[in-house]
Amino acid sequence: MKTELLIIGSGVAGLTLAVKYAETFPKKNITIVTKGTEDESNTKYAQGGVAVVLDDKTDSFQKHIEDTLISGDGLCNKDIVNMVITEGPKRLKELMVWGAQFDLDPTGNLDLGKEGGHSEFRVVHYKDITGYEIERALLARAHQLKNIQILPHHFAIDLITEHQLNQNAPYTTCFGAYVLNENNREIITIQADSTVLAAGGIGRVYGHTTNPNIATGDGIAMAYRAKARIKDMEFVQFHPTALYTKQEGSAFLISEAVRGFGAYLRTKNGVRFMLNYDDRAELASRDIVSQSIDTELKKTDDSCVYLDCTHLDLDGFKNHFPNIYNTCLENNIDISKDWIPVVPASHYVCGGIEVDRNGKTSITNLFACGECSRTGLHGANRLASNSLLEALVYAHNIYKYHVDFPVSGKKQEIPDWQDGGTNSLKDPVLLEDNLKKLQAVMRDYVGIVRSNQRLLEAIALLDAIYTDMDALYRTSKISTTLCELRNMVNVAHLIIGQSLERKENRGGFYNKDNV
């Protein structure tokens, strides 16, 4: 298959780029591949909203910039922060033109929420399912454009680079990707003038995560194997308040906006402990709140802390957070009288594929945007609700680059995928067993608080998992679950290695040996 623009991922970043490109170039083909259903992405589960300055009487670009820099703990790129935040209002208006709905206040203006780390009310939202609403609107617009082809249940295995075609060539140009059709198990070659990785996050590497099961770091791992520059992977953000249950896997997120609405964090004995850690209490940035909860849990050996909403206006809570309210009820929690058990869970990676302000990676004709990219906006810790903003702005920048500098695909004969594996996976339990081992290593050795010794132990444990995985990959027929494990092992390797390289504690990264 040949296409002008190949986009891997169907979240807000990939869809925004596709819509813009398709509107401007109606005769060019855009192909979106996504391994799940077309609407399954981290975007779909984003509750909080889009942080954007709209009220110039109480707020300003400068205040939002300062909040972002403070949260990023000195490692943000100031020029990028300035660019993303000042572009925000324009990109939000485009979303609204495409049909995205956002909550209004009684005066008919956009209702602005406040989240941890923000000095003003500036988070535009739709109830507590903002990402779901944005995804709905973008997909509806994409389906109206004839030159966008969306291929759900298609898993991108590897990028096609010059090195793959000629072992002596450098990894300088990307020609597309090899993609597994999950319905018929056929591996197809998609040749593209430009390839864009918008493949989302890495949460499943930790097992206990607010991300959906598809968040296996595929984009970052593919770029890493293609020798693109990967940076800041040590900065894994743990959301402080995931609903605590005894079930493994994806955890339901209790939005930061609930604390912005006035909820308190308490120990099981009722102590409002955040006052002991930060003057901003529950509205401190995510790294501080997560580390504080981790400290409290280690002191008491408890499994969770609690979010107290019993003093809040119940009707107001139901109106702002209907999904959270109903999910709590489904778990036998009545927020009018019960505290919500919460625990930190892996949520967002601040690092990823290094890109410039145009979304260009270190490989020619390969771009990246969204959570899989490292732009310089987040630094050591992402400010709440800056992620959807970043995705919108960088999707626009990649689109604008293609308008100003049309990418011409280099003519190249691309061989079909050579599948070295001939055997069907005889024992799927081996995959599941290694996945659980990997997730346990990351939770126990590479969590919120790390140490050099535990990181070194993690490397040894990861090496054993890699050996098993590599043997399976070389001898078995390609499958999504096998490739996902391969990608998660790559991502774990990057997180551990870059954690050992960082010799100072910043933002979401804390190594007790650096104190």
109 in any annotated domain: yes
pTM: 0.91
Residue 375, phi then psi, degrees to nearest 5: -95, -25
Interatomic CA distance for residues 287 and 277, integer angstroms:
12
Q: pLDDT class for 167, splitting at 50, 70, 90? A: low
Interatomic CA distance for residues 83 and 315, integer angstroms:
38
- Where among 307, 328, 343 does a domain terminate? 343
Q: What mean pLDDT comes out for the span 247-256? A: 82
Which of 246 and 92 is assigned the larger pLDDT?
A: 92
Mean pLDDT lowest among 277-286, 306-315, 377-386, 470-479: 470-479
Tell whether 215 and 287 lie within a shared domain.
no
Q: Is the pLDDT of residue 183 over 70?
A: yes
Cβ(296)–Cβ(267) below 8 Å: yes
Residue 406, phi then psi, degrees to nearest 5: -50, 130
Q: Is the pLDDT of residue 170 over 90?
A: no
Q: pLDDT class for 286, splitting at 50, 70, 90? A: confident
Q: pLDDT class for 475, splitting at 50, 70, 90? A: confident
Q: Look-up: residue for tokens 């800041």?
A: 232
Q: What mean pLDDT comes out for the span 119-132? A: 92
Residue 39: its pLDDT value, please? 81
Tell whether 221 and 249 lie within a shared domain.
no
Residue 476: its pLDDT value, please? 81
Q: What CATH number does the domain containing 492 carry?
A: 1.20.58.100
Tell whether 222 and 271 lie within a shared domain.
no
Q: What CATH number does the domain containing 160 carry?
A: 3.50.50.60
Burial of 61 (0-12, 13-18, 19+ CB in 10 A): middle
Q: Where does 25-177 have alpha helices with state H?
A: 61-71, 78-97, 130-144, 162-165
415 in any annotated domain: no
Q: What mean pLDDT comes out for the span 32-60? A: 87
414 in any annotated domain: no
410 in any annotated domain: no
Q: What mean pLDDT comes out for the span 175-181? A: 96
Residue 423: its pLDDT value, please? 62
Residue 128: its pLDDT value, please? 81
Interatomic CA distance for residues 371 and 376, integer angstroms:
12
Tell whether 229 and 312 lie within a shared domain.
no
Report how many domains make up the chain: 3
72 in any annotated domain: yes
Tell whether 70 and 211 lie within a shared domain.
yes
422 in any annotated domain: no
Residue 421: its pLDDT value, please? 60
Residue 403 Cα to chain centre, angstroms: 27
Q: What mean pLDDT comes out for the span 481-506? A: 96
Tell whether 107 and 189 lie within a shared domain.
yes
Residue 406: its pLDDT value, please? 87
Interatomic CA distance for residues 493 and 231, integer angstroms:
13
Q: pLDDT class for 77, splitting at 50, 70, 90? A: very high
Tell whether 118 and 41 lie within a shared domain.
yes
Burial of 182 (0-12, 13-18, 19+ CB in 10 A): middle
Tell whether 227 and 254 lie within a shared domain.
no
Q: What mean pLDDT comes out for the span 238-249? A: 85
Residue 413: its pLDDT value, please? 83
Tell whether 132 and 211 lie within a shared domain.
yes
Q: Exactly one of 91, 286, 454, 506 is catalytic; name it.
A: 286
Q: pLDDT class for 398, splitting at 50, 70, 90? A: very high
Tell whether 53 and 180 lie within a shared domain.
yes
Q: What CATH number does the domain containing 302 carry?
A: 3.90.700.10
Tell whether 228 and 251 lie within a shared domain.
no
- Where among 310, 343, 376 does a domain terminate? 343
- Where among 319, 343, 367 does a domain terminate? 343
Q: How many helices (H) and strands (E) does the chain have?
A: 14, 17
Contacts of 177 (CB under 8 A, 6+ apart): 6, 8, 33, 156, 157, 158, 159, 160, 190, 192, 195, 222
398 in any annotated domain: yes
Residue 447: its pLDDT value, please? 92
The kind and range of the H/E element at 13 are: helix 12-24
Cα radius of gyration (the chain): 22
Q: Is the pLDDT of residue 482 over 70?
A: yes
Interatomic CA distance for residues 133 and 112, integer angstroms:
16
Q: What mean pLDDT comes out for the span 216-230? A: 96
Mean pLDDT lowest among 42-46, 93-97, 104-108, 231-235: 42-46
Is 286 among the residues known to form the active site?
A: yes
Considering the chain, what is the average pLDDT of its residues?
A: 92
Tell whether 443 and 500 lie within a shared domain.
yes
Residue 38: its pLDDT value, please? 84
One-letter identity of residue 170: P
Residue 420: its pLDDT value, please? 63
How many Cα atoms sit within 13 Å of 133 on the Cβ side?
19
Count of Cβ atoms closer than 10 Å to residue 502 Cβ: 17
Q: How far apart are the first and last CA of the chain?
A: 53
Q: Is the pLDDT of residue 422 over 60?
A: no
Determine the structural domain holding residue 31 and report its residue range: 2-234+350-404
Q: Is the pLDDT of residue 479 over 80?
A: yes
Mean pLDDT lowest among 12-16, 344-348, 426-430, 433-437: 426-430
Residue 425: its pLDDT value, please? 64
Residue 296: its pLDDT value, please? 94
107 in any annotated domain: yes
